[in-house]
Structure 1
Amino acid sequence: MEFLSPATLDEALAAKAAHRDAVPIMGGTDVMVELNFDRRRPDVLLDLTRVTELREWDVVDGHVRLGAGVTYARVVDELGGHLPGLALASRTVGSPQIRNRGTVGGNLGAASPAGDAHPPLLAAFAEVELASAGGVRRVPAAEFYTGVKRHAGADDELVTAVWVPTATGPQQFSKIGTRNAMVIAVAAFALALHPEERRVGTGIGSAAPTPRRAREAEDLLAGELDWEGRGALRETVAAEFGRLVAAAADPIDDVRGTAAYRRHALGVMARRCLGWAWAEQQDRHREGGH
């Protein structure tokens, strides 16, 4: 196995162009597991830990450009105000050691249906930045996931960042697992309210071949909510929202849970996240003095 360790992003992109089958590694929380269990034996490993450009984040035109090498721990510590949904999800990732090593970019590169970062990125209408020696492009998160552990990146491209609109409304995340901590999600759900656009974003994880949005549920809620925050949330609306979220999933039976359980859990989590988010929206309205 050949091990490449570029020092700059340009060097990393040149290496990926020259070795298109190279497997990128940053925190190693996914790749090292596959190597240790002999599930993967690549000819070339592309170590990105020395590429400082990937460890930076900035706010640009109302978006956070989050470098692919920013760890979950830093998202929790530094970005809770800008990206509350992603920060909530990041708190649930593994152990403190995993959060200190694992990265959002690594989660995107692995493209596992159970990745915790995917639902909040979908709900926030994020875009994934893909770069190659030939240029840079951005792909909406909803179009990024193409199959089980597959994504829209070309074989000469690296995930270099994700662009996430800064939150303008409440965001929530919930997941259920086989125990209370350090667990792979049996099912996960994220919700983001975008009051300035009067839009709703959702994200479903670990309940379909790819992470996905529940678009019918989003449309229902966008049309039913009192976006000024004055009205109470009707139980019939919350129930129908939960039903539509569950219907948008395409789960399977596996060792962690049955398809029926995943659908039920998604409906419950959707209603709960909506209740929490709407309570926050009403609090904002009251604090605004309207």
Structure 2
Amino acid sequence: MDFLRAASLDDALATKAQRPDIAPIAGGTDLMVGINFDHIRPSGLLDLTSVPELTEWSESGDVVRVGAGVPYARIISELGERLPGLAMAARTVASPQIRNRGTVGGNLATASPSGDAHPALLACDAEVELASTRGTRRMPVTEFFTGVKRNAAEPDELITAVHLPRATGPQQFAKVGTRNAMVISVCAFSVALHPDRAAVGTGFGSAAPTPRRAVEAEQFLSGELTSRGMWADPRPLPDTVVERFGELVAAACAPIDDVRGTASYRRHALGVLARRTVRWTWDEYSIGRQTCA
């Protein structure tokens, strides 16, 4: 297996154009596991750790651009106020060692249904930035996942960044697993309030072939908040609204039975996570303080 190291983004893109079958590696927290278990066997590895353009984040207006090589640890320490949902998800990723190496770009490239970053990206209407020698393009994260561990990147493209709007309201993330760390989630859920446009965002993982949004649940909740005038005049969220929101989230999933949990348990747990997190986000929005970290 060849090992090539890119010194710049242009260098990396040129190599990927010449050898589209080569596997990019930054943190390697997913890729090396697959190689060690002989689940994948690329013709070579393209080391991106020396590409400075991938390890930076920036703001332009209300949008935060996070380079694909920014590790979870920096998202937690540097972007918690701007992107709280993604930072919460990052805190649940594995161990401190993994969070120092693992990246959102790698999570997207793996495109696992259980990727911890994916629900938060979906809830925030993120866009994925892809680059090649042919140019750069951006696509909604909702269009990026095409199947189990499959994504919409072309063979000669690299994931270079993810773009997210800066949070205008509370966001939450929660997942179910056998323990708090070093575990693949049984299911995960993220919710974001967007009061600037009277909208609700959701995302869930480990409960369908790809990470998904619960669109009907989003429309229901935003409609209830708007019709009741609660965006401008926050009041306690009625229990009936919370229950229905959880039901619609559970109805949006398409889980399977596997070694980590049954389909019925995943559906039930996802509804529980939806009810809990929507209460936490609404409490923070209505009374101005977090009720859960």
Q: With the length of structure 1 as denominator, give the TM-score of the two structures.
A: 0.97
Cα deviation digits, residues 55-75 of structure 1 (max 9, x gap): 000011211100000000000
Is the counterpart of residue 272 in structure 1 residue 263 in structure 2?
A: no
Deviations 1:201-247, CA, capped at 9 Å, x for gaps: 00010110000000000000001111124222010010000000000
| Residue 241 of structure 1: aligned partner | 245
Secondary structure (helix, strand or coil) at the match of 2:197 reads coil
The answer as to 2:282 corresponding to 1:284 is no
Q: Show the counterpart of 1:123.
A: 123
- Contact 2:34–2:40 under 8 Å retained in 1: yes
Q: Is 1:228 aligned to residue 232 of structure 2? A: yes
What secondary structure, in the 3-state scheme, does the structure 1 residue paired with 2:156 have?
Answer: coil
CA distance in 2, matches of 1:47, 1:133: 18
1:253 aligned partner, one-letter code: D
Gaps of 5+ in 2: none
Equivalent residue runs for 1:104-123 within 5 Å: 104-123=104-123
Partner-residue secondary structure (3-state), 1:196: helix
Q: Which amino acid aligns with 1:89?
A: A
After the TM superposition, which residues 110-189 of structure 1 pair with which residues of structure 2 at under 5 Å, given as runs? 110-189=110-189
Question: What runs of 5+ residues in structure 1 fail to find an aligned partner?
Answer: 286-290
Identity fraction in percent: 65
The alpha-carbon deviation at position 264 of structure 1 amounts to 0.3
Distance 1:50 1:180 in 2: 32
Consecutive aligned runs of 4 or more in structure 1 exceeding 2 Å deviation: none
Query: Aligned Cα RMSD in Å?
Result: 0.9
SS class of match (1:146):
strand
AA aligned opposite 2:103: T
Could you state the TM-score of these two structures normalised by the residue count of structure 2?
A: 0.96
Q: CA deviation at 1:181?
A: 2.2
Equivalent residue for 2:267, pick from 263, 269, 281:
263
Counterpart of 1:165, as a letter, is P
Q: Whole-Å Cα distance in 2 between the matches of residues 148 and 69 of structure 1?
A: 23
Q: Tell me if the contact between 1:229 and 1:281 (Cα under 8 Å) persists in the aligned partners.
A: no
Q: Deviations over 1:12-59 (max 9, x none)?
A: 000000001111110000001011111111112111111011000001
The structural deviation recorded for 1:283 is 2.0
C-alpha contact (below 8 Å) 2:92/2:180 kept by paired residues:
no
Matched with 2:64 is 64
- Cα distance in 2, alignment partners of residues 229 and 195 from structure 1: 12
Aligned residue type for 2:5: S
| Number of aligned positions between the proteins | 285
Question: Residue in 1 aligned with 2:75?
Answer: 75
**Residues in 1 aligned to 2:234 and 2:284: alpha-carbon distance in whole angstroms:** 12
SS of residue paired to 2:191: strand
Counterpart in the other structure of 1:288: none
Q: Which position in structure 2 is the counterpart of 1:98?
A: 98
